[in-house]
Amino acid sequence: MSHRFHPNPDIADPIEAMLWDDCERCDQQAKDPRGLDHAKLAEAWQMMLAVEIHHSGRRYLTANERRLSGTLYMMFVLIERLQGVGVGGLAEVWRMPDV
């Protein structure tokens, strides 16, 4: 699996992005977050909560960030349904530590 240099200022990569577009490894991690290390998964979970649950004003910087958060949000909704907890209830219970 290829992994390109990023952030690459020649193609306007956002420096603050977690996953970049047009990188095979980042594309794969966005589709299947099981390959993320603990710190990156915690960061992704916090990003998803900030954008999708708390509407904090944070926004996705790349399509891969949006794709990854979509997967995590789907998991969040399914876990909530299984637990019978109201919307956002697991956000506090399952909050991953800041890294």
The answer to the question of residue 4 being in a domain is no
| Global pTM value | 0.74
The answer to the question of residue 55 being in a domain is yes
Q: What is the distance between the alpha carbons of residues 87 and 33, in angstroms, rounded to a whole number?
A: 23
CA-based nearest residue to 69, from 60, 77, 79 = 60
How many domains is the chain partitioned into structurally? 1
The answer to the question of residue 28 being in a domain is yes
The answer to the question of residue 71 being in a domain is yes
| Residue-wise pLDDT tens digits, 49-93 | 999 989 899 999 999 999 999 999 998 888 877 776 555 555 565
The answer to the question of residue 1 being in a domain is no
| Residue-wise pLDDT tens digits, 32-51 | 999 899 999 999 999 999 99
The answer to the question of residue 98 being in a domain is no
The answer to the question of residue 34 being in a domain is yes
3, 23 in Cβ contact below 8 A? yes
Residue ranges making up the domain that contains 17? 9-93
The answer to the question of residue 2 being in a domain is no
